[in-house]
Structure 1
């Protein structure tokens, strides 16, 4: 979600040169036959057209728009174009605002699989027939059901990809789904509520943004902007704690009026309830009856990603961003090793792996070196004297622990991707218009631009090529923006790289091509200083050469997010989020009717998943 939306709702309801530390051989070059003609597609120009544009060698197919039945047997209500679907309907339909996504193959060729995707937030004006001039308990339930995660089955046919309906795997996980809390914070005092005195169970996940996939084949969904759904009477704000301020859970600043109709969202009555959100949630997509599990050992924050890899000795490593201005990048390293495999036995054997390990925060030093700083009670100044009674409190208030140990305050760290060959780690830093403002952190080596409107992509290589290392070397892969604008500070790794702004989604395919997706605010698209960048877009980069080429442009107001390539690299699944969002508060008249209408106002715009293929059946990205 664009940060401008968050800022608005919380109020109402000289660039450094690019450092090149790794040299020409930092990424594994394409090998003959692996990527084919990497980036050989016809690049598309920037666009302000209200449609999806892909290279002429490609075609796209609409697969799973908001309101589509998920495919649960006997529960497949059709989408009501006027918003008349009930809360019960929405609980078994595609949620709103598709985001992070993964394809889990069900056969050896990858022609059948489970597509698992997040639904980040809601546009209440579109969700309900009469908007939200009047809130009701039913509207709160429907809104909660429109977020979370979808699990759908898809298969490739001679005419393209189709959703399998019904499917024994089909499932919707949402803001009222029962789930477990596990790890060091489970059952501790700050996790206990009147409804759950044991502090080990919770209803729901929402604000689901980016994601990850474990080596054993489970899906990790990330709870990002959970804070905006908690509220309460404004006069209760005088009693809030420093931790509540830091996490944004302050009465009177809520985005929606949940608290008036569902008391667990009332901060004045249930101050511990928000401690149960902001986690990485593990879901087994192959077991529809298995309860999702919130993994507290990974720390609580506005969770943006949970990108997994393994260390040299076989432990799982999870990289995470915290998508807010001046927040941190984290890493978790498990204590135990991964049992190889993705079958039922392997998933069972690795069931508790994310509950025991070490959490770190990143410090990016000048000169291109960095350190991982441990967030452990009793170390690095994180102790009772600094306000942490135990490790559970360190994890629940990970941001505050990051302050104490001296993590680097970043320009909105979002998606993280690991190069499948070199092990280099890439992170998108979307933007930060407050960098260098009075009273705010000044530019630094890792975040070199004041009033950073366009963001960029930073990368690092762990010492010894080991993801469990505590030291690394880093540089900037790209500083985004329009190089033609005076003072923009935009720098790209190749002279012929296509320009972009506000990078967000990030995904490496198995061939080592990097897919980059953008999320410029609906309030700035097409306006100075963003006019030359057009609508949000997706690009493909070859880190071996530094080339970056524009592959797709989206409809008006949309964010391009969620990206996964099938194992055979013949299909690219992409999400189009919130088409028509002209303003980030959702209150303006939509400027798109995509995909069902031809002109704004002719249909409610709907987030949707696309399946994109080369017309000749070749490898995507070539």
Structure 2
């Protein structure tokens, strides 16, 4: 049977990297917000524009700087690169680039070579698609280590020979004439998801390459995984695959990540709901609040019509109740996703663990506060959807270096953030019996809370934010930074001090200091560090508009290096890239900022259609790894059918575009960014 595409996109919100969530309670308008925070005199003297500008004036006194900004040279020792719209990667003068580990490069098993027509089994032994968050675990110094990275999703039109000549967009899938999907195609897509663990080494010539090693591993949408924490064994995790509710298969839509103080990797499940379909009414809030409904972007469940156990793994993505109990259908399968998953990169035989006490939502990533011997462990996570929340987890047991392991993540308290308009904030405990949570609101037990953390944060009164994504903790001051990427759906009456713009196209970065610099504190003081946008709609920390050296939109990835440079990566969606109002920003980019002065410079620009994501250096800071995700995703369905791709990066010519890791080094061997 011939393949045919489903016309158009399955879900416009998916293409826009947005999700049609709940409508938050009405918020005071910006005039009242600004008046409450900055005083009537300022408003009368300068009007609303001055009030917005005041958001980016001198830092709040409670957010003390680590050094005098006027003392000595700044942190940024490179000349900014210009905006680019070219299909190439650009770094400052004196730097060089190397492409490493593109999608399809063999890393394990019998190491099958990449080819566009690789089958599903071969893909399971190769680098996954659409690289995202990652970390470098050194083995023998800075020139040898395990690179562990996420693969957020797959682009079916680039993966299957049958897609050639069809009018497919970046989020379309090839369908058979009868409307079903080819199981081989679906399994290849499943095997392009998940996590890659691969040993890399720097050679004598300075070039990096993959090394064949027993620890090299692919974790996919089919890998067996275990539940730990309060939801382990919960009836709502029971499926035919795991009647006891102890296990599941796979991890999906892995965006950012975390690194535990005991040396394991946390991969975070973000837009997992797009993989599921649930027909009819009566879905529990733990699914309806997460937009599990009658549409599935990837339609994996449509490959389940053929007999055999292999295709039962596709049927699980249909969460419609179709039998007498949850042990006979997959109504509970969506509850297996939306978690933080712990992976031990040093043990290829270990089973990944989904840590349920960290809450279930669209986890962008996890960032840890500095650990202190004998004190609780603290970590932060954002829920990357419009009008969602920032969370904090504080462990019940103290951190001890000699005994710490993942069980520290199984007991503690999950909190959601409330940002007040006067620059203060508080952490709201998501615990039955507190903040309106209890049987009367549908949260009788801790398991109820964690399974529907979003709903619990709604009831508690957390602040709905403009898509909270990556977080980072300043190693010098302990201040916590989060990107709020954008929110085009925020209306004028919904603005507040931390989300100061309606129809927010460009995004902002918020930072805070916990009370008494204690990350377990229940209160904090916050300010906006950056208002992204064009020259007319942006502000840096000093209140100045951004210029040609640092314009940016949709800040997403964040990472601090050991010298306190804050690296900021952008993710203008492929639907919007190089179109108004994003035209001035060009292709997606990476910038570096001085957290004390707010100085900001563009360091890197990527190829056409790509997101720039993932950032880490070797311990000596002389090699930086970043990821280029989905180059060429801007290619329209019509152009794809004609074989006219927007990008052929990194190989050029007529090659299919491939996500890849880039190694950035200095020609003089110095530290990156200095």
1:426 aligned onto 2:469 = no
RMSD: 2.4
Equivalent position of 1:184 in the other structure: 230
Closer, same or farther in 2 for the Cα pair 1:489/1:617, shift >3 Å? Answer: closer
How far is the alpha carbon of 1:499 from its aligned partner?
1.6
CA distance in 2, matches of 1:283, 1:182: 13
Q: Is the 8 A contact 1:121 1:207 kept in 2?
A: yes
- Which runs of structure 2 are paired with 1:453-602 in the superposition (5 Å)? 453-484=505-536, 488-493=537-542, 495=544, 498-582=550-634, 590-598=645-653, 602=654
CA distance in 2, matches of 1:576, 1:508: 19
Q: The residue matched to 2:584 in structure 1 has which SS?
A: helix
Closer, same or farther in 2 for the Cα pair 1:605/1:21, shift >3 Å? Answer: same
Closer, same or farther in 2 for the Cα pair 1:585/1:330, shift >3 Å? Answer: farther
Q: The residue matched to 1:149 in structure 2 has which SS?
A: strand
Deviates more, 1:504-513 or 1:191-200: 191-200
Closer, same or farther in 2 for the Cα pair 1:126/1:9, shift >3 Å? Answer: farther
- Which runs of structure 2 are paired with 1:164-203 in the superposition (5 Å)? 164-203=210-249
Closer, same or farther in 2 for the Cα pair 1:567/1:482, shift >3 Å? Answer: same
1:396 aligned onto 2:447 = no
Instruction: Structure 2: give runs of 5+ residues left out of the alignment.
Output: 1-10, 21-47, 164-173, 305-313, 322-329
Q: The residue matched to 2:621 in structure 1 has which SS?
A: coil
CA distance in 2, matches of 1:434, 1:467: 32
Equivalent position of 1:331 in the other structure: 392
How far is the alpha carbon of 1:239 from its aligned partner?
3.3
Q: The residue matched to 1:237 in structure 2 has which SS?
A: coil
Q: The residue matched to 1:96 in structure 2 has which SS?
A: coil
How far is the alpha carbon of 1:8 from its aligned partner?
8.5
How far is the alpha carbon of 1:311 from its aligned partner?
5.7
How far is the alpha carbon of 1:408 from its aligned partner?
0.3
CA distance in 1, matches of 2:387, 2:18: 19
1:451 aligned onto 2:503 = yes
Closer, same or farther in 2 for the Cα pair 1:36/1:221, shift >3 Å? Answer: farther
1:117 aligned onto 2:149 = yes
How far is the alpha carbon of 1:7 from its aligned partner?
5.2
Q: The residue matched to 2:575 in structure 1 has which SS?
A: coil
Equivalent position of 2:29 in the other structure: none
Q: The residue matched to 1:239 in structure 2 has which SS?
A: coil
Q: The residue matched to 1:511 in structure 2 has which SS?
A: coil
Q: Is the 8 A contact 2:252 2:272 kept in 1?
A: yes
Equivalent position of 1:319 in the other structure: 380
How far is the alpha carbon of 1:21 from its aligned partner?
4.1
Q: Is the 8 A contact 1:502 1:520 kept in 2?
A: yes
Equivalent position of 2:310 in the other structure: none
Equivalent position of 1:244 in the other structure: 287
Closer, same or farther in 2 for the Cα pair 1:211/1:585, shift >3 Å? Answer: farther
Q: What are the superposed Cα offsets for residues 227-274 of structure 1, whole Å, 9 maximum, x if unpaired? A: 000115xxx2333344422201112x2101111221111111422111
Q: What are the superposed Cα offsets for residues 108-133 of structure 1, whole Å, 9 maximum, x if unpaired? A: x3211111000000101011111313
Q: TM-score, normalised by structure 1?
A: 0.91
2:437 to 368, 376, 382: 382
CA distance in 2, matches of 1:509, 1:351: 25
CA distance in 2, matches of 1:560, 1:435: 25
Closer, same or farther in 2 for the Cα pair 1:450/1:586, shift >3 Å? Answer: farther
Q: Is the 8 A contact 2:376 2:396 kept in 1?
A: yes
1:255 aligned onto 2:294 = no
CA distance in 1, matches of 2:335, 2:15: 20
- Which runs of structure 2 are paired with 1:49-448 in the superposition (5 Å)? 49-70=86-107, 72=108, 74-80=109-115, 83-107=116-140, 109-131=141-163, 132-134=174-176, 135-232=181-278, 236-251=279-294, 253-260=295-302, 261=304, 262-269=314-321, 270-310=330-370, 313-340=374-401, 346=403, 349-436=404-491, 442-448=494-500
Q: What are the superposed Cα offsets for residues 570-600 of structure 1, whole Å, 9 maximum, x if unpaired? A: 11100000000116999956310101123xx
Q: The residue matched to 1:476 in structure 2 has which SS?
A: strand
CA distance in 1, matches of 2:585, 2:406: 45
CA distance in 1, matches of 2:501, 2:637: 27
Q: TM-score, normalised by structure 2?
A: 0.84
CA distance in 2, matches of 1:553, 1:506: 16
